[in-house]
Amino acid sequence: MSQSEVAKLDTKHFYMRRLHSLLGLLPVSVFVIEHMIANSFIMQGPEAYNGVIALLRGLPFVVFLEVMIIGLPLLFHAAYGIHITLTSRANVINYGYWRNWMYFLQRVSGIIALIFIAYHVWEFRIASSAYGFEVTYGAVAKAMHHPLIFWFYAVGMAGTFLHFANGLWLFCITWGITVGPKSQKVAGWIFGAAGLALFFIGIQAIWTLSR
């Protein structure tokens, strides 16, 4: 049997790939933006920040929302992302074009983001609930005073927001929104600026906490 006959009806990967792309935007990217807006309350001091934490923690059906809207989509995105990474063979040495580097960095930053987010969720959500310590301005600030944790967060956020910005750029191609090179360039600037802005909020937050 030829290769084309085997591949004939196998549309599973197509739908998985499109789902992976869609979940990257909705809900994952939208949640990341919401998370950074919440973080920016750190600028207004401990009381404002603690108030936001209390509000979010007090949402009705909060565990259901966390699992269904954040946890499961993120897990699928990560698992399928690892599969995609395993099918790639980077060649930036011989073909050192900008977009080829971004292709490579999208995969590297995805792995960095996965490690970072796994630790972050464990530390400030799962472990804190399991061992009953409250996540407050003071508790997070205490963690950020450790230089190793501070730098782990800085690198983790750099990876996350690079993956975020380039991922949204890729979303626009995957769904055929930006077709030509001109629109893709404009999208690159817009998402690049958005990624940088969120990274700035994140760094500003951990910087304030570590003082």
- Of 16 and 69, nearer to other proteins (C-beta) is 16
Which of 50, 136, 174, 210 contacts other proteins by CB under 8 A?
A: 174
Is 160 one of the binding residues for other proteins (CB under 8 A)? no
Q: Could you say whether residue 76 binds other proteins (CB under 8 A)? A: no
> CB 187 → other proteins: shortest distance, Å?
11
Task: Determine which residue in the list 170, 198, 201, 209 makes contact with other proteins, applying CB under 8 A.
Answer: 170
Of residues 37 and 186, the one with the C-beta less far from other proteins: 186
DSSP codes, the chain: --HHHHHTT--HHHHHHHHHHHHIIIIIIHHHHHHHHHHGGGGG-HHHHHHHHHHHHTSTTHHHHIIIIIIHHHHHHHHHHHHHHHT----TTT---HHHHHHHHHHHHHHHHHHHHHHHHIIIIIHHHHTT----HHHHHHHHTSHHHHHHHHHHHHHHHHHHHHHHHHHHHHTTSS-SHHHHHHHHHHHHHHHHHHHHHHHHHHHHHH-
Would you count residue 10 as binding other proteins (CB under 8 A)? yes
Q: Which is nearest to 169 in space by CA: 159, 184, 180?
A: 184
Stretch that binds other proteins, among 30-38, 93-101, 117-125, 195-203 (CB under 8 A): 93-101
> Please, what is the minimum distance in Å from the beta carbon of residue 88 to other proteins?
5
Among residues 23, 110, 178, 202, which is the contact residue for other proteins, using CB under 8 A?
178
CB 13, min distance to other proteins, A: 5
Interface with other proteins by CB under 8 A: which residues? Answer: 2-4, 7-14, 17-18, 84, 86-91, 93-95, 97, 99-100, 102-104, 106, 170, 173-181, 184
